[in-house]
Amino acid sequence: MNSNQTAIVTGASSGIGFAIAQAYLKRGYNVVGNARTIERLQAAAEQLGNPANFLLVAGDISQPATAAALFDKAITAFGKVDILINNAGIFLAKPIGDYTEEDVDLIVATNLKGFFYPSQQAAAHMASNGHGHIVTITASIAMQPNAKVAALLPILIKGGLNQATRGLAIELASSNVRVNAVAPGIIDTPMHGADEGTQAFLKTLAPNGAIGETRDVVNAVLYLTYSTHTSGTVMAVDGGGTAGTW
């Protein structure tokens, strides 16, 4: 299928972002992938078979200039941007007293600024075109904190992004731009490692006793960007973890 559409994916070199980029490429989309270094993007491109419609744009996504470059280069290469996936993010779980000033600065830069500046570019571009999708990858723990995981900074920032998703959806509704979020629970990515003890603990964080796969998040993202009547939604993909206590 050749959709003749273009998606920007931040944090596209590994994990969930890589899986999202791969899914769009398989469906014939043009994909503009961002990561902090060109080396990581080149390694991802090699894994994908170096497709001609995968444009690599390296840079710190917390910087306005990087967000502007993403859109400028995407528009120059492919004419327009139809989809923005705000995937770049970090997760730091620790008791509140253990967070350092560096932790705060890092998570605000990556998770907050890394959402705001690309979304600002997308809002202007998509509103002028009269269509588009913005999807942000947040975290289900920001919807339902868990006593087993002290993670105030992710809850603070990702919870704000969940609310920002609703606010931006209303702001852009009249321009036919849909804004949604996917809130994963524990997903099997390299960040969690393969240690059996860690894996066993992670499985206790969902009532179904399982760890999700990247395809679970990809399927949610694809649904949201195919939908013409879904906006302002935060979709949990967490094995039922936000449904209540167990």
The per-residue pLDDT of the chain, averaged, comes to 95
Summarised one tens digit per residue, pLDDT across range 26-48 is 999 999 999 999 999 999 999 99
Distance of CA 53 to the CA centre of its chain: 20
Give the percent of the chain with pLDDT over 70: 98
Summarised one tens digit per residue, pLDDT across range 191-239 is 776 778 888 998 998 999 999 999 999 999 999 999 999 999 999 999 9
Confidence check: pLDDT of 1 > 70: no
87 touches 10 (CB < 8 A)? yes
Pairing relationship of beta strands 132-137 and 30-35 according to DSSP bridges: unpaired
Ranking 80-84, 86-90, 143-147 by mean pLDDT, the lowest is 143-147
> How many CA atoms within 13 Å lie on the side-chain side of 165?
28
Parse the chain into domains and list their residue ranges: 6-239
Q: Please tell me the predicted confidence (pLDDT) of residue 3.
A: 61
For the record, the structure tokens of 119 come out as: 């979304």
H or E segment at 106? helix 101-107
Tell me how far apart the alpha carbons of residues 222 and 216 are, in angstroms, rounded to a whole number: 10
The pTM score is: 0.95
CATH class as words, domain 6-239: alpha beta
The widest CA-to-CA distance across the chain, in whole angstroms, is 51
31 touches 55 (CB < 8 A)? yes
